[in-house]
Structure 1
Amino acid sequence: MADASTVIEKLQSRFDPAAARGMNDIFQFHISDADDYYLHIQDGSLDVQQGEHDDPSVSLTTDTETLKGVMSGEINGMQAFMSGKLKATGNVMLASKLTSLFPSG
């Protein structure tokens, strides 16, 4: 089973800078069974940091398994959200951009 840091590292290799043009957003990940991370996406660039950001655009709370499944495309993000496995606060519509920012294949 991949741990959260591995999932976050894989995001860097899958990042699509074209999809992030004109963005300036912070995606905060609160991972219940691992460390917290945030992604700063700014006009086509991605900066991944461990820890908590002061003012994230959107905060996502989940566990490692759900995060891995959603980011790999095995779990539908909307279904995870509706079933309570993924919680989002802040600009929730930004969360729906994750699949275009980090295409799974």
Structure 2
Amino acid sequence: MSDIIDQAVTVLNEKLTGADFGGTAKFAIEGEGAVMMDDTGARAADEEADVTLSADVETFQGILSGDTNPTSAFMTGKLKVDGDMGMAMKLASALA
């Protein structure tokens, strides 16, 4: 597992504490791997999810740090969403 994925799991678990987005989501990070998120938190895994968000490392790190707005990243094509758009919006709110 990459350092990027390890760092992502730690940060996402902090951000998602108490969040209830009612399903499963996956962050697919180009060249690094994937992080699964659900109501129990985040973990390094690559499984089926209700929504998959794909981005490069730079965009993903910007979203995690708060420097990049997930909605803006999506609108500019830096973040791709496949699946339940409603769940993606709930996740974006939880990460803000």
TM range, normalised to the smaller chain?
0.7 to 0.9
Q: Which runs of 5+ in 2 are unaligned?
A: none
- Are residues 83 and 102 of structure 1, via their aligned partners in 2, closer, same or farther at CA, if it must alter by over 3 Å? closer
For the 8 Å contact 2:53–2:80, the answer to whether it is kept is: yes
SS of match in other structure, 2:23: strand
The residue aligned with 2:41 is: 47
Structure 1 runs, 4 residues or longer, greater than 6 Å off: none
Alpha-carbon distance in 1 for matches of 2:5, 2:14? 15
Matches within 5 A, 1:15-34: 15-17=16-18, 19-20=19-20, 23-34=21-32
SS of match in other structure, 2:73: helix
For the 8 Å contact 1:16–1:101, the answer to whether it is kept is: no
* TM-score normalised by structure 1 residue count: 0.74
Alpha-carbon distance in 1 for matches of 2:6, 2:74? 21
* TM-score normalised by structure 2 residue count: 0.80
- Are residues 58 and 30 of structure 1, via their aligned partners in 2, closer, same or farther at CA, if it must alter by over 3 Å? same
Please tell me whether Structure 1 or Structure 2 has the larger radius of gyration of its CA atoms: 1
Matches within 5 A, 1:51-70: 51-54=45-48, 56-70=49-63
Equivalent residue letter for 2:34: D
For the 8 Å contact 1:16–1:100, the answer to whether it is kept is: no
* Aligned-pair CA distance for 1:38: 0.7
